Amino acid sequence: MHGLGNDFVVIDAVTQPFAMCSNKARKLADRHFGVGCDQILLVEPPSQPEMDFRYRIFNADGSEVEQCGNGARCFAKFVRDRKLTGKQHLKVETCKGTIELHCEANNHYRVDMGVPELEPQHIPFRADSRANSYSLPVAGRQLTIGAVSMGNPHAVCVVDDIQSAPVEELGPLIENHEQFPQRVNAGFMEVVSRNEINLRVYERGAGETLACGSGACAAVVAGCLQGLLDAQVTVNLPGGSLQIQWQGEGQSVTMTGPASTVYQGRIRI
């Protein structure tokens, strides 16, 4: 499946026994010797009775991560297409809390991504105190970033031109920066207007992807906190556009966009 080109192997671990490990994830994600994907998504039974499913995400490098917004939309489409549920509104358990998925018209899915975490120690990000922007030393220069967790950590910097932004150079340096003890997703945001941005994201454990849903949410939050954006923003990513809404501190971020199935198959592991 894919959400705006951010592609996934989605596995039904509800109707069949399956246990994931880092080695299995790396093999499945390998684009030459495996199936090939940015992330692997597991659909599991919930551990709590009020939840519909449990959602787990593994990056191409085998690391398990907390959140994936594009994957969440694919998750919603998958469980309905596979007739694992008939619900239009789903409550899904992740390792960082609950997300809510809503099935809308025209193959679009709305995800309640939860309230963004802005306190540095909870992102986690090493800083003396919370601020709307921070100075981050990278490769001999001082970058101004916003630091946000959407269940996973994001560093967002504003650039003048998204096409010429040094994503491949700075992305891995930001991802592995010592001030982010669990690594970080690096977002590069060009502000078009108060209601539109262009965005590229170098994802932790996956490299630059065609779209990053949680990265789009984090970019809008960072832009709002810095006074650059309004509450409803169109986020243009290399793979397509998402609609992001955030009404301010203490409020959930909502993301709306499409999800697509490419093919189904079986593999012996």
Same domain, 36 and 110: yes
Same domain, 131 and 103: no
Q: Is cis: bond before 124, omega within 30 of 0? A: yes
Same domain, 20 and 137: no
Residue 85, in any domain of the structure: yes
Same domain, 154 and 247: yes
d(CA 269, CA 261): 22
* For residues 41-69, average pLDDT: 94
pLDDT tens digits along 139-170: 999 999 999 999 999 999 999 999 999 999 99
Same domain, 130 and 215: yes
**Which single residue is written with the structure tokens 């003396």?**
128
Residue 33, in any domain of the structure: yes
Same domain, 76 and 151: no
Same domain, 81 and 105: yes
Catalytic residue among 37, 103, 157, 212: 212
95 is catalytic: no
The pLDDT of residue 96 is 80
Residue 263, in any domain of the structure: no
Residues 6+ away with beta carbon under 8 Å from 6? 38, 39, 70, 71, 209, 210, 211, 212, 213, 239
Same domain, 57 and 107: yes
Catalytic residue among 68, 103, 157, 217: 68
Same domain, 158 and 108: no
**Kindly report the CA angle at 158 between 154 and 162, in degrees rounded to 5?**
100
d(CA 254, CA 232): 10
Q: What is the CATH number of the domain that holds 31?
A: 3.10.310.10
d(CA 163, CA 158): 13
68 is catalytic: yes
In this structure, the strands spanning 64-65 and 89-94 are unpaired
Which of 78, 93, 114 is a domain's end point?
114
pTM assigned to the model: 0.90
The domain containing residue 220 runs over which residues?
120-252
Which of 86, 114, 142 is a domain's end point?
114
Confidence of residue 267 (pLDDT cuts 50, 70, 90): very high
The pLDDT of residue 67 is 87
Burial 176-213 (b: 16+ CB within 10 A, else e): ebebbeebbbbbbbbbeeeeebbbbbbbbbbbbbbbbb
pLDDT tens digits along 104-122: 988 999 999 999 999 999 9
Secondary-structure breakdown of the chain: helix, strand, coil percentages, each rounded to the nearest 5: 15, 40, 45
User: In total, how many domains does the chain have?
Assistant: 2
Same domain, 183 and 212: yes
